[in-house]
Amino acid sequence: MNTIGCLVILVSLGFSICQSANPCCSQPCQNRGVCMTRGADQYECDCTRTGYYGQNCTTPELLTWIKTKLKPTPNTVHYILTHFKGFWNIINNIPFLRNYIMSYVLTSRSHLIDSPPTYNGAYGYKNWEAYSNLSYYTRTLPPVPVDCPTPMGVAGKKTLPDAKLIAEKFLLRKRFIPDPQGTSLMFAFFAQHFTHQFFKTDMKKGPSFTRGLGHGVDLSHIYGEGLERQYKLRLLKDGKLKYKMINGEMYPPTVQDVQVEMHYPPHVPEEHKFAVGHEAFGLVPGLMMYATIWLREHNRVCDILIQEHPEWDDEQIFQTTRLILIGETIKIVIEDYVQHLSGYHFKLKFDPELLFNQRFQYQNRISSEFNTLYHWHPLLPDTFHIQDQEYSYQQFLFNNSVVIEHGISNLVESFSKQIAGRVAGGRNVPPAVLMVAKKSIEHSREMKFQSMNAYRKRFSMKPYMSFEDLTGEKEMAAELEELYGHIDAMEMYPGLLVEKPRPNAIFGETMVEMGAPYSLKGLMGNPICSPEYWKPSTFGGKVGFEIVNTVSLQRLVCQNVKGPCPVVSFHVPDMKHTESATINSSTSHSRQSDLNPTVILKGRTSEL
């Protein structure tokens, strides 16, 4: 391709000028073909193993053509899986059919993620540094080349609209929009708690870097990053973690007790500065609630292993318990968390053996795109309802007294009964955390993410043809078109939040079709899911293996609270009643004065 070809593309996208530019700026290579420059104005597409050939990898091979003709669209698959409940009830009770479908779900999703990793924020081509340097998040698509006519390559205007304007005009909540899928705050806090064991951006180096030593489910948010913090949190007896008893129940120790760094403002009393694996989990009571539940579960499992193996020392009990909790976490995420997210009538199943005869790599790298798309701040309500009390953001933040005064059981039940916000559709980010959304846009630009349509194509979706196609309405679409100039210039992160939601769903198509492959690859790529690890002896024998294989969100909570088990659910139990109550008490805007947004960014925790 030469500069004349560049001119044709630019004119077709609304430009009247052309300049000497990287010929790969126009993203000429389709269907996962790799663009490589040849001189200043020529390119070559590598179509190897894409199933396509030709100059731009656009001509399908016969088998590829047949597959694409027969393959239903993602929205068709979603419709089938979220309807025909009677049919799926039958499938769920026929083990070999359920296993076959679950195996297909895992492999079809996971194979969309490159393993080993390919790019990072510094390199838009494959090299050893991009593969081996674990301090970087990996990248699914290479950065937009620096010498392109526009920020998105060749599409759109020469400059992107102001990030603050985008956040305030299209993302800021005007009125609380409840999730029609019935998602609860119990889900919202689980998402925040679970993901921050691997989303740990190192903002001192930049948004492309992670502070985490691991790139998956390692429970570092429970045990700490590195041995020094881990040993300070451990009791070093019977494999247990340190704790303190309050009102007859187990809670985390304080910072004063264990001398580990936690991010608390000066006004927090010493007795309320709980110390856990993640240094920022004192931020909100929902995070400390989960941290406390997992602390109790760890020590509970230790007691079981001590009975089974009185000959084991502290170290073996601790290490085996950690593996059991990793297994419990993955099972809960797949069978409770992802199950709820999907809205499927098909019952998902955590069974590593389903992949033992598949081509599968038991390793994982967290990508910058996964980290970015998981900024689900619209989930948050305007205020937080616990028992008969209502808390503003100002009252809720860094307030562990809420955890002690209400107790874990009451927190669980209250969060299970309060509805979360809808993520897709735009204009539902609470004012209190709008600054984080703005930073997400700025960081995406700093990392030179490709457009939303580029990611849709990468994850086997058709690109949107217009802003109205993206949003499903006219007003917002017209405003976006005026600011961006062309649909192929729409940025990924704001695009995900303004995308029209699927019918009666929390997300739009792109969020689900991008997020699910990252999630399932990260979960099933864990070492405990490999043939070498997935056996009873890894978990201390049949008893430990049974703990992993029978856990659920409800069981986890019920075994770790005093008294009767509370309502435990990622779905609001009586949605209509709860939605009405929530809307009535949440229609007023959260005041910006309720929270200084920079508090959330303090201590390199912008993901929070």
Does residue 596 register a pLDDT over 80? no
Q: What are the pLDDT digits (tens) for 284-317?
A: 999 999 999 999 999 999 999 999 999 999 999 9
Are 416 and 566 spatial neighbours (Cβ–Cβ below 8 Å)? yes
pLDDT for 22: 92
pLDDT for 608: 55
Does residue 587 register a pLDDT over 80? no
Q: Is the peptide bond before 116 cis (omega within 30 degrees of 0)?
A: yes
Active-site residue numbers? 196, 374
Question: Which H or E element spans position 412?
Answer: helix 401-417
554-567 CB burial, b ≥16 within 10 A, e <16: bebbeebbeeeebb
78-83 LR contacts (CB < 8 Å, sep 24+): 78/343, 78/502, 78/509, 78/512, 81/342, 81/343, 81/344, 81/345, 81/346, 82/342, 82/343, 82/344, 82/345, 83/345
pLDDT mean over 68-85: 95
pLDDT for 369: 98
pLDDT for 591: 33
Are 411 and 386 spatial neighbours (Cβ–Cβ below 8 Å)? yes
The alpha carbon torsion through 353, 359, 364, 366 (nearest 10 deg) reads: -110
Compute CA distances 587 → 32, 378, 397, 597, whole Å: 45, 14, 21, 21
Query: DSSP of 509-540, one letter per residue?
Result: HHHHHHHHHHHHHHHHTSGGGSTTT-SGGGGT
pLDDT mean over 213-235: 96
Q: What are the pLDDT digits (tens) for 360-406?
A: 999 999 999 999 999 999 999 999 999 999 999 999 999 999 999 99
Instruction: Give the CA angle between residues 54, 56, 57 to the nearest 5°.
Output: 60
Round to whole Å and give the CA distance between 566 and 547.
Answer: 21
Global pTM reads 0.92
The residues, any chain, with a CB within 8 Å of residue 271's CB and separated by 6 or more, are: 254
Q: Which two tokens stand for residue 63?
A: 């088998």
The residues, any chain, with a CB within 8 Å of residue 392's CB and separated by 6 or more, are: 383, 590, 591, 594
The residues, any chain, with a CB within 8 Å of residue 15's CB and separated by 6 or more, are: 149, 154
Does residue 338 register a pLDDT over 50? yes
Q: What are the pLDDT digits (tens) for 540-560?
A: 999 999 999 999 999 999 999
Round to whole Å and give the CA distance between 197 and 215.
Answer: 9
Does residue 159 register a pLDDT over 50? yes
Q: Which two tokens stand for residue 53?
A: 């050939």
Strand residues in 520-605 grouped as ranges (E): none
Does residue 1 register a pLDDT over 50? no
Round to whole Å and give the CA distance between 111 and 104.
Answer: 11
* Residue showing tokens 């620096």: 146
Q: What are the pLDDT digits (tens) for 468-504?
A: 999 999 999 999 999 999 999 999 999 999 999 999 9
pLDDT for 250: 98
Q: What are the pLDDT digits (tens) for 248-283?
A: 999 999 999 999 999 999 999 999 999 999 999 999
